[in-house]
Amino acid sequence: MKDPKDPKEPILVTRSSMPPLEEFIEEIRPIWDSHWLTNMGVYHERFRERLNQFLGVAHTELFVNGHMALEMAIQAMGLTGEVITTPFTFVSTTHAIVRNGLTPVFCDINPGDFTMDAAKLEGLITARTSAIIPVHVYGNLCDVEAIETIAEKHGLKVFYDAAHAFGERYHGTGVGAFGDASMFSFHATKVFHSIEGGAVCYHDEALGKELYKLKNFGILSEEVIDGVGANAKMNEFQAAMGICNLRHLEEEIAKRKQVFLHYMKRLCDVKGLRLPVHKPGLESNYAYFPVIFDESVFGENRDQVYDRLKSHGIVARKYFYPLTNACDCYKDRFSPESTPTAFQISRQVLTLPLYADLPLEDVDRICEIILDHKTEKAGVWQ
């Protein structure tokens, strides 16, 4: 653990993990000799193999970022019409559906773990529905059993946005192995990153072939252009960064766990706060620390806590607010009122700073600031 930050220095919600510089330099040295910078080189293939092994999945295709992985997987799966998804996610999930010319149909979320409420799913299925795209929000695993049973009954594909769930296992199964496919994001702000980057894990080799073609202009071989693809290839430097970071991931997650548990210890007895819960059987990656503020009990609402933290240089995130069905770009098409639980949670949630090197003293300070309004008020009343 590092020394606590000078209180004058801001603490942001996350901080990218970096491998030792020398290790990265050694890793990329052969790239100078080879002059092979991108287009599925040695590092791209090595990274893919390491990921298959680490994630416990059969196949992985790499992408320049998580968003393009989502867009291209939706296209490669040949989805049509309507797709049932969640509004309690990063806008990327909804944009990827809409940019494929499909209609997102929003299913409400569970108030407990904020993932898709499987009990509300079946009522949203129509003759036009082709797939379900749920999100493992904050690394909380969706009710995969219920979702996949419903999908099977209705002949729907299941594609998980697993951007938050890298490295997690559920009763020993890597989370990327669920459904027809899963997307991971390796963005710099995520638990594991390749600066920018993304991947789709899948079972069906025919889907893999489509994914490969789409990310490389539809080029199957030198003279065969067999698809209307684009360019979403991961380059060799990204893959090298991924390979380096993967070596340190276990240690990173262990440090995150310490920060997470320290927040739990400091905040667990506070009335009016709801803290994260982990599903039994899930090995968490401790990606986020979302807190739900109940103003009537806690005495202050989410926005007030956010502002007060900010005035002390601590930048938490209203993550996810607004809901994707409340975004300005969708205001003529969708409404957050259709998903009341998600709408409510989006106005009460704040994710607190959490990264491997966040000193526990800083966690103490953040918690003290959160709880400070109680003493301030007490002072006024005396």
Q: Which of 167, 198, 276, 290 binds ligand PLP (CB under 6 A)?
A: 198
Q: How near is the Cβ of 186 to ligand PLP at its closest, in Å? A: 6
Q: Which is nearer to ligand PLP, 40 or 72 (CB)?
A: 72
Q: How many residues bind ligand PLP (CB under 6 A)?
A: 14
Q: Which of 47, 90, 138, 289 binds ligand PLP (CB under 6 A)?
A: 90
Q: Cβ distance 291 to 285 under 8 Å?
A: no
**Options 46-54, 89-97, 290-298, 331-339: segment touching ligand PLP (CB under 6 A):** 89-97
272: left (phi over 0), alpha (psi -120 to 50) or beta: left
* C-alpha–C-alpha distance, residues 268 and 317, integer Å: 20
**What would you report as the CA-atom Rg of the chain, rounded to the nearest whole angstrom?**
22
- With H, G, I as helix, E, B as strand and everything else as coil, classify residue 148: helix
Q: Cβ distance 75 to 212 under 8 Å?
A: no
Q: Which is nearer to ligand PLP, 14 or 89 (CB)?
A: 89
Going by the DSSP 8-state scheme, the letter that residue 177 receives in this structure is G
* C-alpha–C-alpha distance, residues 168 and 165, integer Å: 6
**Options 65-73, 263-271, 325-333, 350-358: segment touching ligand PLP (CB under 6 A):** 65-73
Q: Which of 44, 187, 256, 274 binds ligand PLP (CB under 6 A)?
A: 187
**Options 50-58, 60-68, 241-249, 337-345: segment touching ligand PLP (CB under 6 A):** 60-68
Residue 65 within binding range of ligand PLP, rule CB under 6 A: yes
Residue 135 within binding range of ligand PLP, rule CB under 6 A: yes
* C-alpha–C-alpha distance, residues 188 and 18, integer Å: 9
* C-alpha–C-alpha distance, residues 75 and 215, integer Å: 11
**Options 51-59, 86-94, 105-113, 151-159: segment touching ligand PLP (CB under 6 A):** 86-94
Could you give the dihedral angle defined by the CA atoms of residues 301, 274, 317 and 334, in that order, rounded to the nearest 10 degrees? -80
Residue 193 within binding range of ligand PLP, rule CB under 6 A: no
Q: Which of 41, 66, 208, 290 binds ligand PLP (CB under 6 A)?
A: 66
Q: How many CB atoms lie within 10 A of CB 159?
A: 26
Q: At residue 116, what are phi and psi to the nearest 5 degrees? A: -50, 130
Q: How near is the Cβ of 92 to ligand PLP at its closest, in Å? A: 4
10: left (phi over 0), alpha (psi -120 to 50) or beta: beta
Q: Which of 185, 245, 324, 348 binds ligand PLP (CB under 6 A)?
A: 185
Residue 67 within binding range of ligand PLP, rule CB under 6 A: yes
Tokens of 55: 């994630």
Binding track, positions 136-175, relative to ligand PLP; x by CB under 6 A: -------------------------x-xx-----------
Q: Tokens 């092979």 label which residue?
A: 36
Q: Which is nearer to ligand PLP, 97 or 292 (CB)?
A: 97
Q: What type of residue is 282? A: L
Q: Which is nearer to ligand PLP, 143 or 300 (CB)?
A: 143
Q: What type of residue is 267? A: L
Strands 273-274 and 157-161: unpaired
Query: Closest CB to ligand PLP belongs to which residue?
Result: 66
Residues that bind ligand PLP (CB under 6 A): 65-67, 89-90, 92-93, 135, 161, 163-164, 185, 187, 198
